[in-house]
Amino acid sequence: MAPRILICGHLVWAHNELKDLLGSISEIIHLDSDSREDFLRGFQPGGKYDGVVGIYRVNESSKKIGIFDRELVDGLGKSVKWIAHNGAGYDQIDVLACKDREIYVSNTPGAVDDATATTALYLMISTFRNYAISERSLREGKFKPPGLAKRSHDLTGHTLAILGLGGIGMRLAELAHAFPMRIVYHSRRKVQDAPEWCEYFENVEEMLAQTDCLSVSVPLNDNTVGLVGEKWIRALKPGAIIINTARGKVIDEDAMIRALEDGHLASVGLDVYPDEPHVNPRLLEFPYITLVPHMGTENQDTQKKMEVRALTNLRDFLTVGQGEDLVTEMKGVKF
């Protein structure tokens, strides 16, 4: 009998690739549950998901069955050995619960780098040059907003600090270096293959004191909730800008808003929010900031790459026993 693969959520772009990658080596079944209770019942002996060994998962599935927290993970059948998450961020999956159950988890790094980095670049350009408010002003029949030149700057010659020089951060560094901007960064450790023009700072506050724009590119986990808080925000140069394309909860939103109110921050560019899809109405009181609705990977090219990469991890699990893109907490783990 062919191993069973559960597609937990909708495939939008990679239907042919699903057949090519998994059609001949597995039995593909699709999510057929409108509630968590029905989903977990499906993993009971004789249930519709009985015998599933691998799961393709998208965040959209949480609307029906909830996130993959410990309760859900513990309710999966003993046959489940791999969860291939479609996305770079995987905060909707309790990875520790998966480790306890000896279930590997993969994500889709690399596939999101260009799209997320260009979103960060747009937010940076818009906040430096105040393009968002200028477009709104034109559409309202007012042409230029008052005081535009006094609030605006070129990017050339300014210092961009990247918090987390992973794939997304590195791609943003490459794009911003072209202006050129000075690129500085802090990661858990120095990135050995980073170009020489990427300056590593072990001391975050020393880096922030030289920073005109801080771009946040770290994953959300217990250690990064509120990471960019009052202390780090106040360590930035007066008049600095913050860009966030990571996760909303990485930044202390109240501290950020206080810094906008008193002028310590000149602006922010946000793609992510702590309680999506809700957006704090206080943010809407700042006309010069740039806000977009978590659209970092919202294009068909990137979304197809993400789908294919997640499916490829499942293919590799079935054929060679290991997918390429294990999440950080799983690297080096052997069950």
Token representation of residue 292: 């977009």
* pLDDT computed for residue 56 by the predictor: 98
Q: What is the CATH classification number for the domain harbouring 53?
A: 3.40.50.720
Which amino acid, residue 47? Answer: G
* Structural domains of the chain, count: 2
Is 247 a known active-site residue?
yes
Tell me, yes or no, whether 40 lies in a domain. yes
Tell me, yes or no, whether 335 lies in a domain. no
Is 276 a known active-site residue?
yes
Tell me, yes or no, whether 281 lies in a domain. yes
Residues 47 and 118 in one domain: no
* pLDDT computed for residue 138 by the predictor: 97
Residues 229 and 312 in one domain: no
Q: Residue 215: name the closest of 175, 263, 160, 168 by CA.
A: 160
Tell me, yes or no, whether 230 lies in a domain. yes
**Full DSSP string of 311-327:** HHHHHHHHHHS--S-B-
Residues 190 and 208 in one domain: yes
Residues 70 and 205 in one domain: no
Residues 104 and 122 in one domain: no
- Judged by DSSP in three states, 264 sits in coil
* pLDDT computed for residue 1 by the predictor: 81
Residues 82 and 106 in one domain: yes
Token representation of residue 24: 């001949």
Tell me, yes or no, whether 125 lies in a domain. yes
Whole-number Å distance between alpha carbons of 60 and 16: 21
**Structural domain of 8:** 4-111+300-330
Residues 149 and 163 in one domain: yes
Whole-number Å distance between alpha carbons of 176 and 159: 10
Residues 33 and 150 in one domain: no
Catalytic residue among 4, 57, 186, 247: 247
Strand order in the sheet with 52-57: 27-30, 4-8, 52-57, 82-85, 104-106
Is 294 a known active-site residue?
yes
CA angle 225, 161, 223 (to 5 degrees): 15
Please tell me the pTM assigned to this model.
Answer: 0.91
Residues 24 and 127 in one domain: no
Residue 278: CB partners within 8 Å, gap ≥ 6?
none
Residues 283 and 314 in one domain: no
* pLDDT computed for residue 24 by the predictor: 97
Q: Treating both helix axes as pointing N-terminal to C-terminal, what angle do 300-320 and 113-129 enclose, rounded to 10 degrees? A: 150
Whole-number Å distance between alpha carbons of 159 and 167: 20
Tell me, yes or no, whether 227 lies in a domain. yes
Low-confidence ranges of the chain (pLDDT < 70): none
Token representation of residue 320: 């060679």
CB 189 within 8 A of CB 136: no
Whole-number Å distance between alpha carbons of 206 and 15: 49
Residues 98 and 120 in one domain: no
Tell me, yes or no, whether 102 lies in a domain. yes
* Strands 213-216 and 198-200, sheet pairing: unpaired
Catalytic residue among 60, 202, 276, 298: 276
Residues 133 and 65 in one domain: no
How far CA 233 is from CA of 213, 228, 257, in Å, comes to: 11, 7, 10
Tell me, yes or no, whether 306 lies in a domain. yes
Whole-number Å distance between alpha carbons of 129 and 148: 8
Whole-number Å distance between alpha carbons of 172 and 188: 18
**Residue pointed to by tokens 């020489």:** 196
